[in-house]
Amino acid sequence: MKRGFYRKIAWNNIKKNYRFFVPRILAEMGLLGCFYIAVTLALDERLREIKGGDYIPTFMAMGVAVLVILSSILMFYTNSFLMKQRKREFGVYNVLGMEKRHIGKVLLHEGLISDSVAIAGGIGVGILFYKLCSLLICKLLETDVIVGFYFITLKTILPSALFFVAVDLITYFFNRVSIARMKPVELLSSKSAGEKEPKVKWFLLVIGVLTLGSGYVIALTTKNPLQALGLFFVAVILVIIGTYFLFVSGSIFVLKALKKNGKYYYNKKHMPAVSGLLYRMKQNAVGLASIAILATGVLVMISTTVSLYTGMNNTLDRTYPEDIYLSADYNYGTGERDDSVAVPTDILEEAVRKAAEKNGVEIQYVNPEEYLFVSYYVQDNHLYAESELYAAMGNMEVMAGLREFFFITNDTYERLTGERFDLSGREIACCGISSASEKASDMTGTIYLHGCEYNVKNQFSDFPCSIAMLSNPFSTYGVVVSDQSALEEIYRNQRAAYGDFASKITSRICVKFADRKAAGAAFDSIRKDLREDLSAYVKSQKADPDYLAWCLDCVWDTRVAMLGMYATLLFLGILLGAVSMFATVLIIYYKQISEGYEDRERFQIMEKIGMSKEEVKKTINGQVLLVFFLPLVTAGVHLAFAYPMLKSMLNVFMLYSNRLFLDCALITYVVFALVYVLIYRGTSKTYYKIVH
């Protein structure tokens, strides 16, 4: 045949089927653009040099992994949709004398045209928006924007383009195989065959109810934040399975029940809608369930990352009531265990005050505190050192029962609060600290620790040590012991139990500056002065200053680390949210068109036998509305059930402002719903055009 013949046919087909081709090309462009952006961000070395930019490569690599999965699924989905709609067309070609290999050639040319447009366009979109995205990520990281040029290199263009070429090739071969297997007669008549009324699939229904139910139960009952982290993904998978199964079988179950109810069913408002939905659900349940899950994913990603990012300053204020925490010790290099000596807190305080004065920064107060921090496995009233248990129990089991304890003396308590307990010998006062933990009430009566009996004499709240604010997701307790000797007794006992992994009594000072911002600006210089001062002290103690080990925990360092992590997470959330939104739009669009073509005939018949245009429109509206907003409502319900679990996971990231997360979740939902309505209205127009 003449050269260019296939290309001409292919080109004509694309033009004729623009309703199917154009969205696919746009989707591929968008996906490739996002893919390119994620890959480039991961590889752009300039970003790693930004403060906090070191999280970018890891998180973007995760993003790329998610994009690989999402893009493959979506490309296959749109392709299978396209092929289904065009079956008849291929049948006609076949009947008109085109052999299957000729059809294959047409397909190849169609693919060459549409895919090269999509890939070139996608890289273009990626390059164009990369600048915007790197500006955004710099803005989120609160750094001055990298000036100048685009970051264009084959190193990132090639893998992005190649991945999509690979996906396109696989779909092409998939199509060739399915064409090779088709029979022209079947193709020609494929649409006119009536479809059976769907039956309720009880098996799926039961599994769906069970999986969704257990997913929800996990979400509602998991209180321990650390467990939440692990179980969340179990719950997610259960809910995903449940959503698919219930959309497939539950919808039909409900509709059939409605149909059985004659009074309800034989009504002008219900009859066309119920029977229409019954059929529509059969074909679209999977699509709708996918939308529901994607929507839930968008909501979870955006609401958590936004609340982490916006809540960061609040989190910092909470976890850092003071600006710096300083402890230091030194040794004489003998390598003995008892060789190390702590720098006394008054020396530390003096050094800080001197450095502050030198740098013109005002100090509000300095609090010395002394504590022992140990974790124990708690069972009834017994506290066990964990190393004693690993032999007898599984790792995870021990982890789950582990609690952390801050021990301070009554003197320290008095110094920090102005009050003291009436304690003597092995009498103690207890307090529960982390928000997720059971309050201290479960520490009552006699506590058995290292073979000694301790009497819980008092319960109190508000542990005064600021270190405790940093406590991790384990349930944490604060314990006040009678005096220094009691504290040292516990120290000795736990050292015997834990050996090399034993804790030490920490002496440190908490410093609050009058102006956090000003102090932060001068802090690099303060840090240097402090180091010099403490080195001089170590030297004066006749030790080598190289053996000075200090622990300087300051709010500014933490802020940089947090900002880096949360900003990158937020960006990833936005990027993946955008992609999921793409996917949602695409699925909705294709659903609308395919349904439009199917419904056209039905509504024409209804008009012929005496349904007015208004009534037809109302029926369409009701039906479409329900189908459309079912996923949105489902996503809302999923989010509501996930809420407690997400909240407790955010606690792990030390976000304790529940109000903030609630607001973020609600705002995200509302914004998402608005975007969804816009999409719906846009695609509905196409639908009406097809139906009428």
Partner 1 sequence: MEILKVNDLKKNYTTRFGGTQVQALKGVSFSVDAGEYVAIMGESGSGKTTLLNILAALDKASSGTVVLDGKDLSSVEESELAAFRRDNLGFVFQEFNLLDTFSLKDNILLPLVLSGKSISEMESRLAPIALSLGISEILTKFPYEVSGGQKQRAAAARALITQPKIILADEPTGALDSQSSSELLRVFSDMNRNGQTILMVTHSTDAASHANRVLFIRDGVVFHQIYRGGCTNEELYKKISDTLTMLRTGRNG
Q: Which residues bind partner 1 (CB under 8 A)?
A: 193-197, 262-263, 266-268, 271, 275-276, 278-279, 602, 605-615
- Please give the Cα distance from 190 to 155 (Å, whole number): 47
The type of residue at 103 is I
Question: Comparing C-alpha atoms, which of 500, 503, 551, 508 is closest to residue 372?
Answer: 503
CA angle 483, 488, 492 (to 5 degrees): 155
Any bridge partners for residue 124, and if so which? none
Contact 386, 402 (CB under 8 A): yes
* Neighbouring C-alpha atoms within 13 Å toward the C-beta of 35: 26
Residue 194 or 335: the one with the smaller Cβ distance to partner 1 is 194
- Please give the Cα distance from 430 to 420 (Å, whole number): 13
Contact 544, 333 (CB under 8 A): yes
The type of residue at 170 is I
- Please give the Cα distance from 42 to 57 (Å, whole number): 4
Q: How far is the CB of 622 from partner 1 (least distance, A)?
A: 15
Residue 411 or 607: the one with the smaller Cβ distance to partner 1 is 607
What are 641's two structure tokens? Answer: 């059930």
Q: How far is the CB of 205 from partner 1 (least distance, A)?
A: 22
Q: H or E element: which one contains 40? A: helix 18-43
Residue 543 or 611: the one with the smaller Cβ distance to partner 1 is 611
What are 40's two structure tokens? Answer: 């480039």
Residue 267 or 417: the one with the smaller Cβ distance to partner 1 is 267
User: Which residues lie closer than 8 Å to 244 by C-beta, 6 or more apart?
Assistant: 208, 285, 286, 289, 293
Q: How far is the CB of 199 from partner 1 (least distance, A)?
A: 13
Residue 466 or 619: the one with the smaller Cβ distance to partner 1 is 619
What are 145's two structure tokens? Answer: 């924007």
How much is the CA Rg of the chain, to the nearest whole Å? 33
Q: How far is the CB of 615 from partner 1 (least distance, A)?
A: 7
Question: Comparing C-alpha atoms, which of 527, 223, 116 is closest to residue 355?
Answer: 527
HEC sequence for 375-408: EEEEECCEEEEHHHCCCCCCHHHHHHHEEEEEEE
Residue 198 or 473: the one with the smaller Cβ distance to partner 1 is 198
Q: How far is the CB of 267 from partner 1 (least distance, A)?
A: 7
Residue 271 or 469: the one with the smaller Cβ distance to partner 1 is 271
Residue 270 or 318: the one with the smaller Cβ distance to partner 1 is 270
- Please give the Cα distance from 594 to 609 (Å, whole number): 24
Q: How far is the CB of 627 from partner 1 (least distance, A)?
A: 15
Q: How far is the CB of 245 from partner 1 (least distance, A)?
A: 24
Residue 186 or 453: the one with the smaller Cβ distance to partner 1 is 186
Residue 15 or 608: the one with the smaller Cβ distance to partner 1 is 608
Residue 12 or 604: the one with the smaller Cβ distance to partner 1 is 604
> Buried b vs exposed e over 299-314: b needs ≥16 C-beta within 10 Å?
bbbbbbbbbbbbbbeb
User: Which residues lie closer than 8 Å to 206 by C-beta, 6 or more apart?
Assistant: none
Give the N- to C-terminal CA distance of the chain in Å, as an integer. Answer: 40
Residue 278 or 562: the one with the smaller Cβ distance to partner 1 is 278
Residue 492 or 613: the one with the smaller Cβ distance to partner 1 is 613
- Please give the Cα distance from 259 to 279 (Å, whole number): 13
- Please give the Cα distance from 76 to 80 (Å, whole number): 6
Q: How far is the CB of 74 from partner 1 (least distance, A)?
A: 30
- Please give the Cα distance from 402 to 474 (Å, whole number): 7
What are 667's two structure tokens? Answer: 């705002």
Residue 284 or 476: the one with the smaller Cβ distance to partner 1 is 284
Residue 3 or 608: the one with the smaller Cβ distance to partner 1 is 608
Q: How far is the CB of 286 from partner 1 (least distance, A)?
A: 20
Q: How far is the CB of 278 from partner 1 (least distance, A)?
A: 7
**Which of left, alpha, beta for 607 (phi over 0: left; psi -120 to 50: alpha)?**
alpha
What are 180's two structure tokens? Answer: 């090779």
Q: Are strands 324-330 and 446-449 parallel, antiparallel or unpaired?
A: unpaired
Q: How far is the CB of 605 from partner 1 (least distance, A)?
A: 5
Q: How far is the CB of 692 from partner 1 (least distance, A)?
A: 15
Q: How far is the CB of 601 from partner 1 (least distance, A)?
A: 9
**Which of left, alpha, beta for 97 (phi over 0: left; psi -120 to 50: alpha)?**
left
Q: How far is the CB of 194 from partner 1 (least distance, A)?
A: 3
Residue 67 or 624: the one with the smaller Cβ distance to partner 1 is 624
Q: How far is the CB of 634 from partner 1 (least distance, A)?
A: 24
Question: Comparing C-alpha atoms, which of 434, 453, 433, 437 is closest to residue 445?
Answer: 453
User: Which residues lie closer than 8 Å to 567 by C-beta, 6 or more apart?
Assistant: 52, 137, 140, 141, 142, 309
Question: Comparing C-alpha atoms, which of 578, 668, 690, 669 is closest to residue 624?
Answer: 690
Chain position carrying tokens 């005050």: 353
Q: How far is the CB of 193 from partner 1 (least distance, A)?
A: 7
